[in-house]
Chain A
Amino acid sequence: MAKYITKRILMSILTLFLIIFVLFVLIRIMPGNPFPVERMSAEMILQKRAELGLDNPILVQFADYMSILLSGSFGNGTSLYNGAPIKPILLTCLENSFKIGVLAIFFGTAAGLFIGITAALHRGKFLDGFCTVLSILGVCIPSYVFMIFLQYFFSYKIPFFPYFFDPSQFIFSSIMPSLSLSLLSVSVIARFTRNEMVEVMNSDYVKLAESKGIYGFQLMRTHVLRNALIPVVTVIAPLVVDLLTGAMVIEKIYGINGVGKLMVDAIAGEGIDYNYVLALGIVFSALYIGAMLILDILYGIIDPRIRLAAKEN
């Protein structure tokens, strides 16, 4: 296993390098200048491009960028925030999105598992139907519409939560955005848990276990949950990445200085800030690859029958 994990980590680093290269090239193909141009003459634009080294061969630019990256920095912005160093700004935004994301994962997983397990235990009865409808509603309503509802009822009609995000009351003002963010994950996790559990509970080995006299909690723990959780873990992993990488619309509505908004500002502002898009892209990919790595390792732990490295010998 240790050998497999080392190998897997090395592969991931190589993949990350490839991703940085692909992103680097793609971003330079994107339509749009990396700085605002509305009042510039054609001459000024050329001068500015030369200054930023954008007319060098792409490999030279990439080498320059990699040397900046390897020195532990993300470089400076090209159009956003005075061209200031990206790292501290990125870290602030990441921190905000992470905290809300973690809260959303907590709400999502807890509520999702709860609803899913409840439905599975009462399959075919009223509670099952109720949970199904609940989880379907969750996917029909976009999280930002839900956010507006929450804001309207719990900040405006009943002024309990602050109307806008207030960094000085972090947890308190994160409740509404993380609840709305968790909406989709509640549904997905609930549905997967319920369906997987029903399937596992109908399988022969569970019936055998039941006939041997194993019931209730012990049956769930030893036989059902373990097997039902594999697909659930598979859907949770990308959801976690999604939640951590911010939700642009919710961040905008509630005034959260997060990475989702930063990404859209960097891409759809007056200019495309190449370095911000790259920095965000790299962080997102690292998260994604990390999640996939953990996922693969988790498979082995949850279900010993799965042997990823089996084919190699």
Chain B
Amino acid sequence: MKTYTPQQGDFDFISGRDINVDLNFASQGYWKGVAIHFIRNRFAMTGLLLVGVIVLFAVFAPIVSSYSYQDIISVTDTNGKQIVAKSLAPQLAGEGQGLFADKTFIFGTDDMGRDLWTRTWQGARVSLIIAFVAIFIDMLIGMSYGLFSGFFGGLIDNVMQRFIEIIGSIPTLVIISILAIFMDKGIGLVIASLLITEWIGMSKIARAECLKLKEREYVLASRTLGAGKLHIIFKQILPNTIGPVITQVMFSIPVAIFTEAFLSFVGVGIVLPQCSIGSLIESGFNNITILPYQILPPILVLAILMLGFNLIGDGFREALSPKLEDM
């Protein structure tokens, strides 16, 4: 039989032809789908907007502001006495009274005579850093620790869980006092202490989810088909734990922010005159009934930030989890 040698022209590219492509149910990549669902979610976009606005203000407001966050605003009166613009209620230029009538303090001034507007946004910077560090610690350390512990079970699980119990049992104050021997006080120290304890809650959640999921049929099926352990953990189990995990992350943000505030309160956190949302709430708290406007801005910023993060979190959860009905 004569063999046929393929020749040019036997096959044709069909790109030029008009064929019927299903535009309504176009197939798309997983992440593209997630992105589309996320963008279509009005709540999630609102959340993104809120966080975005706070981030924008935190980045630019201290730069644009006419005062630095640590400037004590003062004038010297005719007797050579220094008068400090302390504890002024919010005012716009020309509206105020006395020596500082011509200055604008959108959020007023604190009891040291510093502009609260600048300080709030400066504080938001620090707290945003702490928030992102907390997310990072939770997602990276907490989640993998919990998943491994839950998945392998037995002796490994036992040892890993006992380790958590030991770490979790040491009071934060003891940990940070000891860390303070080796490090300078400030945000670095706070982050270091968060690194040691912050992820424990998340690892518990991830482990519980993993325990629940690893006996499921689809995992069993994967295993039977010869899937590697890492593949099962990260490709099969991880995507299904995303709901509780994101909820937990949302809670570890304010917890981290308040841990920092508590540490500042005891004298091991952020170092004044630097500030964070937590330390601003802390100092506003000292005068809460007589100067209530001092505590409002940081609490409001925190509330907006939290609302934003939560909406984003919910959006992610829904976009990532194919089970939810609004997909």
Chain A contact residues, CB within 8 Å of chain B:
11-12, 14-15, 18-19, 22-23, 26-27, 29-32, 124, 132-133, 136-137, 139-142, 144-145, 148, 152, 187-188, 191-192, 195-196, 198-199, 202-203, 230-231, 234-235, 237-238, 249, 263-264, 267-268, 277, 280-281, 284-285, 288-289, 292, 299, 303, 305-312
Contacts and interface: CB of A to CB of B under 8 A. Distances in A.
Interface in B152-166: 152-155, 157-158, 161-162, 165-166
Contact of B174 (A148, A267, A288): A267
A124 B318 CA distance: 12
Given A133-B307, A145-B288, A196-B243, A30 B212 contact: no
B211 A299 contact: yes
B174 A292 contact: no
Nearest to B151: A311
A11 B321 CA distance: 37
A22 to B, nearest CB: 6
B133 interface: no
B306 A136 contact: yes
A239 B251 CA distance: 12
Interface in B243-288: 243-244, 247-248, 250-251, 254-255, 258, 261-262, 265-267, 281, 285, 288
Contacts of A11: 158, 162
A141 B299 contact: yes
A313 to B, nearest CB: 9
A288 B323 CA distance: 35
Given A199-B321, A264-B266, A284-B171, A22 B254 contact: no
18 contacts: A14-B162, A19-B165, A26-B170, A29-B181, A30-B174, A30-B177, A132-B314, A136-B306, A188-B251, A191-B250, A196-B243, A238-B201, A263-B171, A267-B174, A277-B174, A309-B154, A311-B154, A312-B154
Contacts of A136: 303, 306-307, 310
A15 B162 contact: yes
Given A136-B307, A142-B261, A145-B295, A191 B251 contact: yes
Nearest to A300: B211
Contact of B165 (A144, A202, A292, A308): A292
A234 B161 CA distance: 14
B23 interface: no
Interface stretch (B67-75, B87-95, B202-210, B227-235): B202-210
Contacts of A310: 153, 215
A144 B166 contact: no
B325 A26 contact: no
Contacts of A30: 174, 177-178
B22 interface: no
Nearest to B208: A234
B258 A198 contact: no
Given A31-B180, A140-B303, A311 B152 contact: yes
B169 A288 contact: yes
Given A238-B204, A305-B212, 19 more contacts: A15-B165, A22-B170, A31-B180, A133-B307, A139-B254, A145-B281, A196-B243, A199-B321, A199-B323, A235-B201, A237-B204, A238-B201, A249-B262, A263-B173, A267-B173, A268-B173, A277-B174, A308-B211, A309-B154
A29 B177 CA distance: 9
Contacts of B82: none
Nearest to A304: B215
| Contact residues of A: prevailing secondary structure | helix
A311 B243 CA distance: 26
B317 interface: yes
B163 to A, nearest CB: 9
A230 B325 contact: no
B186 interface: no
A195 B318 CA distance: 10
Contact of B153 (A14, A26, A311): A311
Given A11-B158, A288-B168, A299-B211, A144 B285 contact: yes
B302 A140 contact: yes
A181 to B, nearest CB: 14
A277 B321 CA distance: 45
A280 B171 contact: yes
Nearest to B317: A195
A307 B215 CA distance: 8
B323 A231 contact: no
Contacts of B285: 144-145, 148
Contacts of B153: 308, 310-311
Interface string B108-145: 00000000000000000000000000000000000000
B212 A267 contact: no
Contact of A195 (B209, B211, B244, B266): B244
Contacts of B317: 195
